[in-house]
Chains A and B, each alone.
Chain A
Amino acid sequence: MTRITVTVNGSRQHHEVEPRLLLVHYLREQLGLTGTHVGCDTSQCGACTVHLNGQAVKSCTVLAVQADGAEVTTIEGMAKDGQFHPLQTAFWEQHGLQCGFCTPGMIMSAAELLKQNPDPSEEQIRTHLEGNLCRCTGYHNIVKAVRSAAGAMSVSASQATLPQARSRATAGAR
Chain B
Amino acid sequence: MATTTTPERLFGASIKRREDPRLITGKGNFTDDLKLAGQTFASFVRSPHAHAKIKGIDIRKAAAMPGVVAIYTGKDLTTAGVKSLPCGWLLPDLKLVPHLPLATDAVRHVGDQVAVVIAETAYQAKDAAEAVKVTYEVMPAVTNGEQALKPGAPQLHAEAPGNKSFHFTIGDKAATDAAFASAANVVKQRLINQRLIANAMEPRASVAKYDAGTGDYTLWVTSQNPHVHRLLMAAFVLGIPEHKLRVISQDVGGGFGSKIFVYPEECVVTWAAKAVNRPVKWTAERRESFLTDAQGRDHISDAEMAFDANGKIIGLRVHTVANLGAYLSTFAPLIPTFLYATLLSGCYTIPAIWCEVDGVYSNTTPVDAYRGAGRPEATYLLERMVDLGARALNTDPAELRRKNFIPANAFPYQTPVAFQYDSGNYGPALDKALQMVNYKQLRAEQERLRKEGKYIGIGLATYIEACGPAPSQVAGALGAQAGLWESAHVRVHPTGKVTVFTGSHSHGQGHETTFAQLAADELGLPYEDVEIVHGDTGQVPFGMGSYGSRSLAVGGSAIHSGIQKIKEKGRKIAAHLLEAAEEDIVAEGGKFFVKGSPSRSKAFAEIALMAYLAHNLPKGLEPGLEATSFYDPTNFVFPFGTHIAVVEVDKASGIVTLTKYVAVDDVGNVVNPMIVDGMVHGGIAQGVAQALWEGASYDNTGQPLAASMMDYTLPKADMLPSYDTARTVTPSPVNPMGVKGAGETGTIASTAAVANAVMDALAPFGVTHIDLPLTPATIWKALQGSPKGR
Contacts and interface: CB of A to CB of B under 8 A. Distances in A.
A7 B718 CA distance: 34
Contact of A75 (B4, B26, B683, B708): B26
B16 A92 contact: yes
B525 interface: no
Contact of A136 (B15, B682, B716, B723): B682
Nearest to B516: A173
B25 A78 contact: yes
Contacts of A94: 1-2
B201 A138 contact: no
Interface in A102-133: 102-104, 107, 122-123, 125-127, 129-133
A165 interface: no
Interface in B14-56: 15-28, 30, 32-33, 35
Most central of B675, B717, B723 by chain A CB within 10 Å: B717
B647 interface: no
Given A45-B709, A138-B682, A138-B684, A33 B201 contact: no
Contacts of B3: 174
B551 interface: no
Contacts of B30: 34, 37, 101
A132 B717 contact: yes
Contact of B2 (A42, A135, A174): A174
Nearest to A122: B722
A92 B17 contact: yes
A140 B25 contact: no
Contacts of A74: 26
A123 B721 CA distance: 9
A25 B1 CA distance: 37
B1 A95 contact: yes
Given A40-B286, A132-B717, A133-B714, A100 B24 contact: yes
A129 B717 CA distance: 6
B628 to A, nearest CB: 26
A45 B717 CA distance: 12
B577 to A, nearest CB: 32
Contact of B513 (A75, A101, A131, A173): A173
A95 B674 contact: yes
B708 A100 contact: no
Contact of B203 (A20, A39, A42, A76): A39
A163 interface: no
Contacts of A32: 35
Interface residues of B, number: 69
B259 to A, nearest CB: 11
A76 B26 contact: yes
A132 B677 CA distance: 21
B411 interface: no
A139 interface: yes
Nearest to B27: A35
B678 A98 contact: yes
Contact of A142 (B200, B251, B717): B717
Contact of B709 (A20, A34, A40, A139): A40
B29 to A, nearest CB: 9
A100 B509 contact: no
A135 B199 contact: yes
A122 B33 CA distance: 33
Contacts of B509: 98
B20 A97 contact: yes
B12 to A, nearest CB: 14
A146 to B, nearest CB: 10
A101 B253 contact: yes
B114 to A, nearest CB: 22
A135 B286 contact: no
Interface in A28-68: 28-29, 32-42, 44-45, 47
B508 interface: yes
A125 B716 CA distance: 12
Interface residues of A, number: 66
Nearest to B2: A93
Contacts of B735: none
Contact of B20 (A29, A91, A122): A91
Contact of A76 (B25, B285, B723): B25
User: Helix, strand, loop or mixed for chain A's interface?
Assistant: loop
B1 A174 contact: no
Given A93-B1, A98-B682, A172 B722 contact: no
B645 interface: no
B21 A130 contact: no
A132 B202 CA distance: 13
Given A95-B675, A173-B528, A34 B33 contact: yes
Interface string B667-695: 00000001101110111111000000000
Contacts of B723: 138, 140
Given A93-B1, A137-B681, A173 B24 contact: no
A174 B681 contact: no
Contacts of A126: 717-718, 720
Nearest to B254: A99
B649 to A, nearest CB: 21
Contacts of B684: 138
A99 B506 CA distance: 8
A34 B250 CA distance: 14
Nearest to B198: A135
Interface string A5-32: 0000000000000101100010011001
Given A41-B286, A138-B720, A174-B2, A103 B681 contact: no
A18 to B, nearest CB: 7
Interface string B739-763: 0000000100000000000000000
Contacts of A29: 35
B509 to A, nearest CB: 7
A143 B685 CA distance: 14
A39 B2 contact: no
A37 B223 CA distance: 18
Nearest to B3: A174
A133 B710 contact: no
B2 A137 contact: no
A73 to B, nearest CB: 11
B405 interface: no
A139 to B, nearest CB: 4
B101 to A, nearest CB: 24
A70 interface: no
B708 A42 contact: yes
B19 to A, nearest CB: 7
Contacts of B33: 28, 34
A173 B16 contact: yes
B243 interface: no
A32 B25 CA distance: 14
Contacts of A134: 201, 717
Contacts of A140: 678, 681, 722-723
B527 interface: yes
Contacts of B686: 135, 138
B682 A97 contact: no
Contacts of B254: 98-99, 101, 135-136
Contact of A18 (B123, B677, B716): B123
A4 interface: no
30 contacts: A25-B122, A33-B26, A34-B32, A35-B25, A37-B32, A38-B32, A39-B203, A40-B709, A45-B709, A74-B26, A92-B17, A92-B20, A93-B1, A93-B2, A94-B1, A99-B201, A99-B251, A100-B251, A101-B201, A126-B717, A131-B716, A133-B201, A134-B201, A137-B681, A138-B720, A139-B716, A139-B717, A140-B723, A173-B17, A174-B6
Interface of A: 18, 20-21, 25, 28-29, 32-42, 44-45, 47, 74-76, 78-79, 84, 88, 91-95, 97-104, 107, 122-123, 125-127, 129-144, 169, 172-174
Given A33-B26, A35-B27, A75-B25, 10 more contacts: A35-B26, A39-B201, A47-B201, A95-B2, A97-B20, A101-B202, A102-B201, A126-B720, A131-B716, A139-B681
Q: Which 4 A-B pairs rank lowest in CB-CB distance, beginning with the nearest?
A: A35-B26, A101-B253, A100-B23, A138-B685
